[in-house]
Structure 1
Amino acid sequence: MDAISFGTDGWRATLDEFTSERVRIVAQGTADYLADAGHAGETVAVGYDARATSRGFAEDVADVLATNGFDVVLPERDCPTPAVSHAIVERDLAGALVITASHNPPEYNGVKFIPGDGASALPEVTEGIVAHLAEPVEGEQTGEIRAVDFAGPHVAQCRDLVDADLSGLTVVYDAMHGSGRGVTDDALEAAGADVVRRRCTQDAEFGGTPPEPTPEHLAELADAVREHDADLGIANDGDADRVAAVTPERGVLDGNWFYVLAYDYLLESDAGPAVRTVSTTFHVDKLAESRDCEVVEVPVGFKWVAEAVGEHDALFGGEESGGYTMRGHVRQKDGVLMALLAAAAASETGLDERIDAIEAAHGEIHQDKVSVDCPDDRKQAVLADLAEALPDSVAGVSVEEVNDTDGFKILLADGSWLLVRPSGTEPKMRVYAEAGSSDRVGALLDAGRDLVEPLV
């Protein structure tokens, strides 16, 4: 049990640690947690992604839950994590366990719990499950296990929210061999788009590339957008809760730009607050201010985005790492919904043209991040030491304010900022910076690294 550690988004580990025995312990802990919370005998969803081991682990979870008297619904095949969240709300379920390592390489797998509201689990929930971890009970299954369609109702909900005619739009879709295949591409096609498919087959090795939609992994998608004279490229990560967009002129868009474009498009016909993490661009604030809307800043981690979206009835919420949701939808990041939203925006005005207009009004976005290796057991000590060593200036510009929402976000007099925070998924400290130019971002990141490295 000591090897089971719930981080930012569940427990992930390499397959030498992520074993059937430990997965069954997590399932028993979840069963006991749900029973103590008054959900004994109710129905629980069990989802899983496209990894070679995921279906087997999902069957382990279903077996333990059914032995504890819970009915279980499984998808007919691997499916996007947001489809599981939608199924929880649509079917009024007690919650779900999802077997997924998201964008991690194939030697990883993971498990996350999603509560009955379909949103990302807050720490008190995951801590409750960890407190209940126990060896699985033995006996006969008294709960029923059955297969249902999760993806179909989820796509229908997405299309209701983004009711756009995509006729005449050409989209190159890259599933990265993940669970978005046959879901996101089919949803775009059903809305009228001409879809060119890439990596839309199941491959346990993900074609040799981790299913993470970053620029270095999407170079061929950018080439395909130009080759097919397409209007847009879309990629999902391994469990299709994240999204990336590719434009004909700019190639793979930074996640900050996706946020700004999506929020700007929604503001054309609606109004409402934006929820962003501390690591997401201040361009969101500029855009919101121009429309007299509020911005709510939260720590990194979609669970905090989800909580704030509900509390503030936000129009849009997300983080620069590619996870977003919108008003009227389950409070879970959703790469299928966001693919439709990006396509709807592009069908009215090309994304490159939209970026040109936003840059003319609010300037360019220049942001980047680096990592500093740091053992997990040193992270809090590093933050404590950093609190005593915060500088009066960074890279020659004076410090105006320090925000400790998540680590330390150092706000500078020229409008730039530097953020230092511990990673929730890896033994690293993250250093982020945003400024008026790429050179200035580089200088800030160098300064941030120099601040952190001596403290590790």
Structure 2
Amino acid sequence: MPVKFGTDGWRDTMDGDFNLANVERVAQAYIDYYQAQGTAAKGFFVGYDHRVDSEVFARRTAEVIAGNGFPVMLSAQACPTQVVSFVVREQGLASGVMITASHNPPQYNGFKVKEPQGCSSFPETTDGIMKFLDHKPVEAQCIAPLQVYDPREAYFKYVESRIDFAKIKKSGLKIFIDPLFGSGSGYISELLARHGIDSVEINNQRDVKFGGFNPEPLAYNVPDFIKTIKQADSKFAIGLILDGDADRNGACGSDGQFINSQKVFSILFHHFAENLHKPGKLVHAFNGTKLLDKLAAELQREVLVTKIGFKYIAEEILRGGVLIGGEESGGYSASGNIPDRDGILNSLYLCEVVAAEQKTLEQIYAGLESRFGVHSYDRLDMHLANEQKDKVIQTLEQELPKEFLDKPTKAKEKFDGIKVHFADDSWLLFRASGTEPLLRIYCEAASDAEVARLLKSAEQFALQC
């Protein structure tokens, strides 16, 4: 059965190749790799999300590790992905595994590997694991301790050391939370409650179908949350959204208006650089908004652009000197924190910036637009067979179209996908997903209407390839 690691681990459908037998094979290859590295005796931590049978896959992974004679801790309950990263780094473990497919549809599950530094796996690590696949039979008869561990309290203290909860409480901010039925349920609300801050949380029970939506913090996945905020009719409110494993986050303004990830990233960078006056460079993926670059230029901050996938951002963070790194899909990591996405911590940073400025998210972002211009953004996910999505990329590589609709193209840039530039600073990016039969098309332009027009034209182009 084929097993392939993509940009952030191995993912597949549970009616396909993600099954217990293949999880055992990957778990055995995983422990064989770390045994060969000479670090396996340091131990491991295994976590899991709210998907179908995630706890079964996680326990079996832990049993294989223990069956090979190495210490392992299994999370006492479903937990966010970044909590696995946190435990691995704080306890000096060899590595960690998170059973999750993150924001993918409910039929998917996955096997994420975490580095000892507390970040996503590097290509050399996953390549090394794959070399040990089927190297020897699966060992699952536990001959080493398998400890059940609850990481919540240690993680809560970590977050509390970084957030000004007193300022949030004093501000009177009305806080709404939607964990999208995922493994981040209860985390933000409990952290706030520990400091006497009330919140309203919906969709916080386990639902393996995620309410009929994909567990990704996008506007079309949270209609009930937007409605909840609008009905509250608060003038000073914030909506916090987590993805299925809570390492990514999204947001809504006080009127329920969805605040996309490009805007969230811009607000976070503004907060750290201009409110908190923290030093360091900016790192963003190839599909990042140009508003980030303009703000960095004004502040004379160095900018590094990476491939898409947080592991590439984590590599730059680990090299040092980074204030914040982030990506379009809603994952960010700030200076001094674990070098991994953390939707819970970053959601609380959003509360902190709103409390500090006594302005809503939409007002803060409007201030950035008044300085750097309007940067409207959207993304189109096209479900295409692998052969067809690859053909789109090949066609663009061979020749740049002269225009999309009536908008002349200026140049193309090949890095992680194909980015098409236009004379007015707008752009389209075509990128084939490494984990799903998807072609993602990203667009930034000077208005929502222009973004919609360009995405429609790009979609028609892709269908004609």
Tell me, yes or no, whether TM beats 0.5.
yes
Mark the CA change 1:447 to 1:296 in structure 2 (over 3 Å): closer, same or farther: same
SS of the residue corresponding to residue 315 of structure 1 reads strand
Mark the CA change 1:224 to 1:139 in structure 2 (over 3 Å): closer, same or farther: closer
SS of the residue corresponding to residue 339 of structure 2 reads coil
- Cα distance in 1, alignment partners of residues 384 and 214 from structure 2: 23
- Cα distance in 2, alignment partners of residues 204 and 450 from structure 1: 34
- Cα distance in 1, alignment partners of residues 25 and 208 from structure 2: 25
- Cα distance in 2, alignment partners of residues 235 and 372 from structure 1: 24
SS of the residue corresponding to residue 161 of structure 1 reads coil
Alignment of 1:239 onto 2:239 = no
Alignment of 1:446 onto 2:450 = no
Q: Which residue of 2 aligns with 1:274?
A: 282
Q: Which residue of 1 aligns with 2:304?
A: 296
Q: CA deviation at 1:93?
A: 0.4
SS of the residue corresponding to residue 8 of structure 2 reads coil
Aligned residues: 454
1:425 to 435, 438, 452: 435
Q: CA deviation at 1:397?
A: 4.5
Q: Which residue of 1 aligns with 2:291?
A: 283
Q: CA deviation at 1:237?
A: 1.2
Alignment of 1:375 onto 2:374 = no
Q: How does 1:65-214 map to 2 (within 5 A)?
A: 65-134=65-134, 136-138=137-139, 140-165=141-166, 166-167=168-169, 168-214=172-218
Mark the CA change 1:113 to 1:374 in structure 2 (over 3 Å): closer, same or farther: same
Q: CA deviation at 1:394?
A: 4.3
Residue 439 of structure 1 aligns to which amino acid in structure 2?
A: A
Mark the CA change 1:382 to 1:213 in structure 2 (over 3 Å): closer, same or farther: closer
Residue 210 of structure 2 aligns to which amino acid in structure 1?
A: F
Instruction: Give the TM-score, by structure 2 length.
Output: 0.92
Q: Which residue of 1 aligns with 2:6?
A: 7
Alignment of 1:402 onto 2:412 = yes
Mean Cα deviation higher: 129-138 or 239-248? 129-138
- For residues 144-179 of structure 1, give each alpha carbon's deviation from its aligned partner in whole angstroms, at most 9, with x where no partner exists: 110122222222212212234221222111122211
Q: CA deviation at 1:89?
A: 0.4
> Does the CA contact (< 8 Å) of 1:222 and 1:248 recur in 2?
no
SS of the residue corresponding to residue 428 of structure 2 reads strand
Mark the CA change 1:192 to 1:295 in structure 2 (over 3 Å): closer, same or farther: farther
Mean Cα deviation higher: 4-13 or 92-101? 4-13
- Cα distance in 2, alignment partners of residues 148 and 276 from structure 1: 34
Q: CA deviation at 1:8?
A: 1.8
Mean Cα deviation higher: 74-83 or 179-188? 179-188
Q: CA deviation at 1:395?
A: 4.2
Residue 258 of structure 2 aligns to which amino acid in structure 1?
A: V
Q: CA deviation at 1:380?
A: 4.8
Mark the CA change 1:150 to 1:362 in structure 2 (over 3 Å): closer, same or farther: same
> Does the CA contact (< 8 Å) of 1:24 and 1:136 recur in 2?
no
Q: Which residue of 2 aligns with 1:327?
A: 335
- Cα distance in 2, alignment partners of residues 114 and 139 from structure 1: 21
> Does the CA contact (< 8 Å) of 1:41 and 1:143 recur in 2?
no
* Structure 1 unmatched ranges of 5 or more: none
Q: CA deviation at 1:217?
A: 2.0
- For residues 108-152 of structure 1, give each alpha carbon's deviation from its aligned partner in whole angstroms, at most 9, with x where no partner exists: 221111111111112221121122112643474222110122222
- Cα distance in 1, alignment partners of residues 325 and 100 from structure 2: 23
Q: Which runs of 4+ in 1 moved over 6 A?
A: none
- Cα distance in 1, alignment partners of residues 399 and 58 from structure 2: 47
1:339 to 347, 356, 374: 347
Q: Which residue of 2 aligns with 1:34?
A: 34
Mark the CA change 1:139 to 1:439 in structure 2 (over 3 Å): closer, same or farther: closer
> Does the CA contact (< 8 Å) of 2:45 and 2:72 recur in 1?
yes
Residue 325 of structure 2 aligns to which amino acid in structure 1?
A: G
Residue 347 of structure 2 aligns to which amino acid in structure 1?
A: A
- Cα distance in 1, alignment partners of residues 155 and 355 from structure 2: 22
Q: Which residue of 2 aligns with 1:259?
A: 265
- Cα distance in 1, alignment partners of residues 247 and 160 from structure 2: 16
Q: CA deviation at 1:298?
A: 1.2
- For residues 352-408 of structure 1, give each alpha carbon's deviation from its aligned partner in whole angstroms, at most 9, with x where no partner exists: 221221121112221122234443355555433321111354444444443212111
* Structure 2 unmatched ranges of 5 or more: none
- Cα distance in 1, alignment partners of residues 40 and 241 from structure 2: 39
- Cα distance in 1, alignment partners of residues 402 and 97 from structure 2: 46
What RMSD over aligned residues (CA atoms) do the two structures have, in Å? 2.0
2:220 to 211, 216, 219: 216
Q: CA deviation at 1:450?
A: 4.2
